[in-house]
Each structure stands twice: as C-alpha cells, then as structure tokens.
Amino acid sequence: MRVKRIGIIKRIFVPIVAFLWSAGMSPALAQSSRAAGSADWDRVVEAAKKEGRVVASIPPSPELRKGLEEAFSKRFGVVMESIPARGGAIIRRIVEESTAGIHYFDLHIGGTESIVKGLLPENVLEPVEPWLILPEVRDAKQWWGGHIWVDNAKRFIYASSAYQTASLWYNSNLLKAEEIRSFDDLLNPKWKGKIGLSDPRTPGSGASIWAYMFLIKGEEYLRRLAGQKLFLTRDLRLLAENLAKERVGIALGIGYSEFLPFKKVGLPVSALPTPKEGLYATGGYGHLTIIKNPPHPDATKVFVNWFLGKEAQEIFSKAMGAPTRRLDVETKWSKDFGVLAAKDGLTLEQFHRMENQSEERIYKVRDPAAALARKLLD
C-alpha cells in the first residue's frame, strides 16, 4: 500500500516539479518568490505611510476628487493630495517647477494632447512600466487590448480608459434629438447662435471633436460651422450650465462628468444619439503619467498600482463617465449616458482606426485642425 501511495504522489508531484523547473523555479523557490513579492509590496506600503502623501494632478471633477481621495486614504493610510485642473494650465506649472528643480507633483492624470505636447517633449516623465508592481496590474491579460500606450515610444503615457463618448449634447426643451442625426444638421440656419463649443484652439475635448469633424467632413464644413455664431468657452462647467439654462440648445466637445451635477437635479440635458458619421474613440482623461523624480516615490508606487487596479478604476470610470479597459470592471452602465466602452462594443482594430488620442494622430490630424480653428475663430 505504501508503495502504491508513493507511486501516486510521484505521478502528481513530479509533473508539477518539472513544470516549475521548466519555468525557471523550484517549488520552494516559487513559494519564496510569492512571499517575497508580498513582502516587497508590504514594504512599499509601509514606506508610503512614512512619506505620508502623494500629490496628483487630476481632471477637474469634484466627484472624482472626493472618490479618489477618500478611498485611497482609507485603504492605505496615506493622504492623496489632488489638484483638479484643466491640462494646459497645470502642465505649464509642472514643467516650470521641474525646470526650476522644484518637485511638488508625483503624477498627472488627464487628456493626451496637453501631455503629448506639454510634458513629453520636456523630458519630465518617468517610464511607467517599472512602477507596475502588482500582478493584476502588470498582466496585460487583465486589460482589454493589452497594455495601450499613447506615446510612440510606448513608455510614458498609459491609457487606462477606452471608449466612444457622447460629446454632442442638447437641451430637450429647445429641440428634439431626431433633429440632429448628422453633423450636417448643425449647419441648419435655425441653430445659428444656439451652438456652444468647448474652445478647439486649446487642447481638450473641444479640440477632439473639432479634429474629428476636420477628419471626416473637411475644412469647408468647419468654415460653415464657424459661421453659425458659436458660443466658445474654455470653461466646461460654464458650457454645461449654458446648455442646462437654455442659453444654447446644443453643446459640442463636452463630456458626461460636466453634466452630471445638472442631470442629478433633473435639468433637461441629454446626449444626442450617435450621428450617422460616427464618433471618435478616445481614452478621455484616463491617461496616467509619472513626473520625473517624484517627491514621494513609494507613495507614488502605491498610488499607481491602486489607480490601475479594480477599485480605483471603478471610481474613475463612474466619476468621469470614462469606461476603463480593465476586464474585471463592469462598464455596460455607461451606455445609459451615451458612452460605449471599447471592450463592450469595439474591436481592437476599430479602436486603433478611430482613436484620436495618440501622439501620431495629434501631430497628423489634431495639429492641422487646431491651426484651422485659430484661423477661423480668432
């Protein structure tokens, strides 16, 4: 009987040992490796607690700020100091401080154009991949599309979100949704003076929708659109308020997060159905960068791995209306707000063909579109 048990053990154990050795580790080493990984993470967390805080520039959303700060502090006992701001202004500050040898910010999370044109050329970013510690973050299989990078070098700007957004909104007291089925419908004389647009002359969501219209409709279309006496503003909150208070009937280049406060109180603002020409694919504000020589390196490591994990991606997705690429986070709810998560309705090939956020697209499409905007709207 003892010989039989030994034979069974060998048949079970020997193949396991062989597999582990073929992977480059013995059973004992595999066990110690897991323990070491856990111990390394625990050490980083403890070091982060001693640093006491992490400082992150984030998109201007009160819901996002509250959600991230409270959850991060509760989980790790480390203060998250978030600085909500539009990309262009905060990036100038980050660059100026870095050039002067001042290290205040650890991270910046936001849209791509301001990062690609403001941070990337200044050599003030750390490669992201070495900061990814937890297996559920490092493993590309946890993400729809694997690891997606915005920069050509695939090192510095990590895209955590991917979706098609409702960037066209309307006030249902002023028009019916079926009146705008195509971008061409925006040229109807009845909408003259009734269209608001996030200023496309600066990086942001307005530049995104303007560039998409430039790509699919051409220069002459934008010339005619500019003749509609557009209400232009860089203040997204003001644009949302103008739509909610019926000062304009249609708003372009603005997302779900800006309208959330007005929707919560029942004001008649809704996303227009996707026009027949379709919409661009994007990562929105869901792009993570690490500022070179962060003042709180261990807290930064903890935050990066938490932010790219399940809990924080749920918080970010719902606060910003920007569905994550993480496969373990539910995103089908976003359809109710005119947002289609890439993982719920696009192929990877479609996303790459329709995206307008990468370094390549910024220089080849968005730059010429922005130059046209300055020419037409200045």
Kindly report the length of the chain.
378
Side chain identity, residue 368: P
Cα separation, 287 vs 65, in Å, equals: 16
Q: Which two tokens stand for residue 40?
A: 């390394």
pLDDT at 20: 36
Higher model confidence: residue 111 or residue 23? 111
Question: Tell me, what DSSP letter sits at residue 152?
Answer: T
Strands 195-198 vs 250-252: parallel, antiparallel or unpaired: parallel
Written as six digits, the tokens of 36 are: 């070491």
Q: CA-based Rg of the chain, rounded to a whole angstrom?
A: 24
* CB within 8 Å of 328: residues ≥ 6 apart: 136, 142, 310
SS3 call for 184: helix
Task: Count helices and strands (H / E) in the chain.
Answer: 16, 14
- pLDDT tens track for 328-375: 999 999 987 778 999 999 999 999 988 989 999 999 999 999 999 999
Question: What mean pLDDT comes out for the span 14-36?
Answer: 38
What Å distances lie between residue 309 and 23, 137, 235, CA to CA?
27, 6, 31
Rounded Cα distance between 203 and 362, Å, is 10
Q: pLDDT category, 211, cuts 50, 70, 90?
A: very high
86-102 burial string, b = 16+ CB within 10 Å, else e?
bbbebbeebbeebeeee
CA atoms within 13 A on the CB side of 326: 23
pLDDT at 178 over 80: yes
Q: Are strands 125-126 and 163-164 parallel, antiparallel or unpaired?
A: unpaired
pLDDT digits (tens, 9 = 90+) for 319-340: 998 999 999 999 999 987 778 9
Which of 148, 66, 97 shows the shortest CA–CA distance to 108? 97
Q: Is the pLDDT of residue 199 over 60?
A: yes
- For residue 188, give both structure tokens: 């109807």
Q: Rounded to whole angstroms, how far apart are CA atoms 76 and 96?
A: 31
**Mean residue pLDDT across the chain:** 89
Judge contact between 57 and 107, C-beta under 8 A.
yes
Residue among 67, 365, 60, 95 nearest 216 (CA):
365
Q: Which domains does the chain have, with CATH numbers?
A: 41-162+283-346 (3.40.190.10), 166-278+368-377 (3.40.190.10)
Q: Is the pLDDT of residue 142 over 60?
A: yes
Q: What is the mean pLDDT of residues 135-162?
A: 98
The pLDDT, as a whole number, for residue 317 is 96
pLDDT score of 123: 95
CB 362, CB 117: distance < 8 Å: yes
What digits encode the pLDDT tens for the residues 64-86? 999 999 999 999 999 999 999 88
pLDDT tens by residue, 216-261: 999 999 999 999 999 999 999 999 999 999 999 999 998 777 888 8
Rounded to whole angstroms, how far apart are CA atoms 322 and 131? 23
